[in-house]
Amino acid sequence: MTTTSVLSRQRCFDGWQEVREHRSAVLDCTMRFGVYLPPQASERPCPVLYWLSGLTCTEQNFITKAGAQRYAAEHGVILVAPDTSPRGAAVPDDPAYDLGQGAGFYVNATQAPWSSHYCMFDYIVDELPQVVESSVSSSGRRGIFGHSMGGHGALVIALRRPDRYASVSAFSPIVAPSEVPWGQKALTAYLGADRVAWRAWDACEQVRLATARLPLRVDQGDADEFLQTQLQPERLEAACRAAGYPLDLRRHAGYDHSYYFIASFIGEHIAWHAAAMS
């Protein structure tokens, strides 16, 4: 069993916000993640909701900016926020913010030098839940959500592994990485130039292949500076319509890509996931 170390622990809404560290066999490096244990976790098993952050983020962005602990305590949900990529001196990196450390894109890389460490899909789907749920009082029910690059990750992971999750949602996700600059750069580096291989990591492509139907919600601000160039939620809307996949796409006037947007609606997302995981 993987050993975890508790690096910090703060009382928060009658629960505990922790940051933990462990050695990842999948990523071949040391990883950190935030875990919020609501007060109910000391009394009974609770569902676990996994948050995937966006480009440049660590576990700290979500746990310090989203204001999510209040709602997790209200609904009795354990919140887990991992880092966005493998890290360390031995882990390949790139000078740009949108590739390498901080930009794992939640794929399993097949190209050198990335393939030796960048297997974030396997880490999020298999290893991290084993690490977390062996050390907390979990009900066995899971949900997943995220923001931007992490919204892409949450959508693809849930669409490819619907057996693992009860619900999926996203804030400002990259819905079609095969068609936008952020995604094209990352997928080329991690997977190579064959666009057929990219389909496994594109939410719009995976919607067309999906046989299961999970509750799916997406929130998008119309003042998001990346809306037209990188996000393009209308592509997911069209793919879901064509596939008959139910989608609750909510557009919000005046909201941008920041954590101010996330903090404004995080309570609604947690309540929605809590109902689906009950």
Torsion of CA 254, 259, 260, 262, to 10 degrees: 80
Longest CA span, the chain: 51
Cα distance between residue 153 and residue 235, in whole Å: 16
Q: Which of 117, 257, 269, 273 is catalytic?
A: 257
Q: Which of 53, 148, 167, 169 is catalytic?
A: 148
CA dihedral sign of residues 174, 175, 179, 183: positive
Cα distance between residue 152 and residue 49, in whole Å: 16
Q: Which of 98, 202, 219, 224 is catalytic?
A: 224
Q: What are phi and psi of 62, to 5 degrees?
A: -70, -45
257 catalytic per annotation: yes
273 catalytic per annotation: no
Tokens of 193: 């130039």
Q: Which residue has the tokens 């746990």?
A: 63
Cα distance between residue 262 and residue 66, in whole Å: 6
22 catalytic per annotation: no
Q: Could you tell me which of 140, 124, 131, 120 has the C-alpha nearest to residue 1? A: 131
- List the beta strands (DSSP E) in 61-215: 78-82, 138-147, 168-171
Which residues are catalytically annotated?
A: 148, 224, 257
